[in-house]
């Protein structure tokens, strides 16, 4: 995401460019003998500017809408894992597929976070499976405590992610 000063600079350059264009049209209007043609030219420039601004606003709205969908998917998988106390591969696959355009909408920060959620979900599923299997199949040398601790660590991590997720997405979804 562009920093605030870059965004402000771009807005200033846009205003400057359209101001120069507007001044040019006014100067042409003053030097022409056809006031109606000059007025039509000026109106055309104004309409073009308004259309450009409307297109920019639509682009921003569309980007916001797509970003919000990614955030909703993150909240949904976190809530699902917290509720079930484990993850399942199908839910994780759907989550990763639904958030596939995150890199293009947010860049590395959110994509890395999504990758971490996915990785920890896979690990949690593995630990949960090993935990259940340890009661069914008594393997010699199986480290029950290690499996239990890892599963607990991942569950705690997931249970603490709703607020950090909101903070990570805030700068991309905050309406100014």
Kindly indicate the confidence band of residue 52, based on its pLDDT and cuts at 50, 70 and 90.
Answer: confident
pTM above 0.85, yes or no: no
What gap in Å lies between CA 88 and CA 80, rounded to an integer? 10
What gap in Å lies between CA 35 and CA 20, rounded to an integer? 20
Residue of higher predicted confidence among 84 and 144: 84
The whole-number average pLDDT for the span 30-53 is: 76
Residues in the chain: 176
Q: How is residue 141 annotated by DSSP?
A: T
C-alpha torsion sign, points 48, 52, 57, 58: positive
Q: What are 138-166's pLDDT values in tens digits?
A: 676 677 788 889 999 999 999 999 999 99
């Amino acid at each position: 995401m562009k920093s605030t000063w870059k965004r402000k600079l771009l807005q200033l350059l846009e205003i400057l460019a359209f101001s120069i264009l507007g001044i040019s049209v006014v100067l042409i209007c003053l030097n022409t003998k056809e006031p109606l043609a000059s007025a039509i030219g000026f109106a055309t420039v104004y309409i073009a500017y308004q259309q450009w601004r409307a297109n920019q606003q639509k682009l921003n709205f569309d980007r916001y809408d797509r970003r919000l969908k990614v955030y909703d998917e993150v909240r949904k998988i976190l809530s699902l894992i917290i509720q079930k106390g484990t993850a399942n591969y199908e839910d994780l696959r759907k989550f990763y597929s639904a958030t596939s355009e995150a890199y293009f909408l947010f860049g590395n920060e959110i994509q890395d976070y999504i990758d971490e959620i996915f990785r920890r979900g896979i690990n949690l599923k593995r630990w949960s499976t090993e935990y259940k299997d340890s009661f069914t199949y008594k393997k010699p040398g199986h480290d029950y405590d290690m499996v239990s601790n890892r599963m607990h660590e991942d569950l705690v991590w997931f249970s603490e992610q709703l607020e950090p997720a909101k903070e990570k997405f805030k700068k991309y979804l905050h309406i100014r």
